[in-house]
Amino acid sequence: MIVDIKKILNDIEILRKNLDKLIEEKSSNLQDPEIIEASQVLDEAISKLNRLIFKKL
């Protein structure tokens, strides 16, 4: 379970950096479809982490 959490945390960091890079490349146009998609993928990873944490409690 701890390994799963560490992997998801690592994935979240990679996804966050990717989103930051996209935002910079798209001149902060937060309505760009690529930014929206990257944000949704990051949101799903964060939700997955939350589910794992709450399941563990």
Task: Tell me what pLDDT residue 3 has.
Answer: 85
Q: Which is higher by pLDDT, 56 or 39?
A: 39
pLDDT tens digits along 11-29: 999 999 999 999 999 998 9
* pTM, 2 dp: 0.89
Count CB atoms within 10 A of the CB of residue 30: 10
Q: Closest by alpha carbon to 23, among 42, 4, 7?
A: 42
Give φ, ψ of 29 to 5 degrees.
-80, 90
pLDDT at 10: 98
The mean pLDDT of 29-56, rounded to a whole number, is 95
The secondary structure of the chain, three-state, reads CHHHHHHHHHHHHHHHHHHHHHHHHCCCCCCCHHHHHHHHHHHHHHHHHHHHHHHHC
Domain ranges, ordered by start, for the chain = 1-55
pLDDT of residue 48: 96
